[in-house]
Copies of this chain bind each other. A is one copy, B any other.
Amino acid sequence: MTDRKKTTIVLLSGDYDKVMAAYIIANGAAAYDHEVTIFHTFWGLNALRKDENIQVEKGFLEKMFAKMMPRGVDKMGISKMNFAGIGPKLIKSVMKKHNALPLPQLIEMAQEQDVKLIACTMTMDLLGLQKEELLDNIEYAGVAAYLAEAEDGNVNLFI
């Protein structure tokens, strides 16, 4: 164990605003020299999806889920006032105007700062997501790995 402080985030949500909040906190904590882990589960896994269409073998149920879920962060809705997709567009326009980093860059920055991005293998199974469909340089683990980090964490959040 090191003396560095630790931040862990369970990211279950797949809403653009919440994913953005998770990555802004993670990047901030990494800049403060925390060891940072984001454990992606359920809809949070969509933040790790590549945006191209990857051909993989899936069962019927898994195919249905995969079809219904957004591929990559640019296709996510927001948690409030989504208005059939107008909300996310509006947020992105305003972010551009204010020079705020859009989500794909926030994720890239997290990877550059060695934030540990973990995909929850149990929910990957449930939602029929396969490693080929997710970003490179991420880790795969279950709830035990999350708890091992979180029990020494200074800031533990569920988003």
Contacts and interface: CB of A to CB of B under 8 A. Distances in A.
Interface string A14-39: 10011001001100110010100000
Interface stretch (A49-57, A86-94, A108-116, A131-139): A86-94
Contacts of A41: 21
Contacts of A80: 14, 42-43
Contacts of A68: 81, 83
Given A43-B80, A151-B154, 16 more contacts: A12-B21, A14-B80, A17-B43, A25-B146, A28-B143, A34-B147, A42-B80, A43-B79, A65-B90, A69-B81, A91-B126, A94-B127, A100-B122, A100-B125, A150-B155, A155-B156
19 contacts: A7-B147, A14-B80, A25-B146, A25-B147, A28-B143, A28-B146, A29-B147, A32-B147, A42-B80, A62-B94, A68-B81, A94-B125, A94-B128, A95-B126, A98-B125, A100-B122, A150-B154, A157-B157, A158-B158
Interface of A: 5, 7, 10, 12-14, 17-18, 21, 24-25, 28-29, 32, 34, 41-43, 59, 61-62, 64-65, 68-69, 79-81, 83, 90-91, 93-95, 97-98, 100, 122, 125-128, 143-144, 146-147, 150-159
